[in-house]
Structure 1
């Protein structure tokens, strides 16, 4: 064995020992709170990927879409036939299009009722609150209401929160926070969102 191969093997053995130690020390089983935030693309896509994974194991999943609900959504369309998937949509679309605070607040609170139902159901393994961060930022929902629902959810239920500028209290209580960082976005260079790629 060459010196280079020997050093590589020693390095991998050390890495394996660290990983094995981490795996052995992770002994708690419960649902998680995941926050996908940041200015980069892919937060909703990542959430739908996790939805697909959970459905693949036969778990019940609830998705509440607070902003993009009126947009085409390839993932939602593909999975819509799955009897274990329950989707609720805020029927106003983008708040910057509607420009009607009262109507948007009403629509948000109507779909929040569906979110609360999902968050209280022990049979629902995963709940996605897609773009809920905007609802908090614009004051359509208050953080105390959302926190209470999250804190009182069934212990085995995992929740994914998506959207830019996640409220600091949500990130503080989350088990995992992933921040998508934008390095470059095609849209900013005049390229249209592409069906099957961006939505």
Structure 2
């Protein structure tokens, strides 16, 4: 073994020992409140990645899609056509708010979606619920942020995971969550005149 490899090996032994010691204290389990927010791409994509993990692990799950329900997305097609028994998929939105141009209709759709979401979260068979783009509904006031957070903190079953995606997550939701990721925008092809690409964004 050369000197560089020997130094690397010695360093990794120290790292492993420290990591093993750290992991001894990480024994708790709980159903997480997860928030994906920020201006960058990838919030829904990350949420659907977790849905596929749940399917792979045999964990029953559900999706309630807010706001962008008018899109025929690849994930919706896949889950409904191939994994309908593993993952329930509900669409409550009719499209982005600038497309519907009808606040009352948007509010009614969001509130219907939240009723579906609560049913799925409270269902003892469901282990993971993705609330896709709900943060946008909260931002526009279609849903009450305080009431939503209160439900998650007081009525969500202890071992059920809930992931909420969308820009501008309200501060009270961020404060209540166990895991928050903010996607930051560095570059996006839309700024250069490139439309949303199949397989990448829908």
TM-score range (shorter-chain normalised) is over 0.9
Alignment of 1:164 with 2:182, yes or no, is no
Alignment of 1:89 with 2:91, yes or no, is yes
Distance 1:142 1:57 in 2: 33
TM-score in terms of structure 1 length: 0.95
Count of aligned pairs: 199
Distance 2:113 2:138 in 1: 14
> Does the 8 A contact of 1:119 with 1:149 survive in 2?
no
- Structure 1: gaps spanning 5 or more residues: none
Deviation at 1:182, TM superposition (A): 1.1
Deviation at 1:115, TM superposition (A): 0.6
Alignment of 1:187 with 2:194, yes or no, is no
Deviation at 1:91, TM superposition (A): 3.6
Displaced runs of 4 or more, over 6 A: none
Computed over aligned residues only, the root mean square deviation of the Cα atoms, in angstroms, reads 1.3
Q: Which moved more, 1:145-154 or 1:40-49?
A: 145-154
Deviations 1:90-115 (A, max 9, x none): 24210121222111111111111101
Distance 1:2 1:103 in 2: 69
Deviation at 1:6, TM superposition (A): 2.3
Match of 2:47 in 1: 47
> Does the 8 A contact of 2:93 with 2:106 survive in 1?
no
Distance 2:61 2:179 in 1: 19
Match of 1:154 in 2: 157
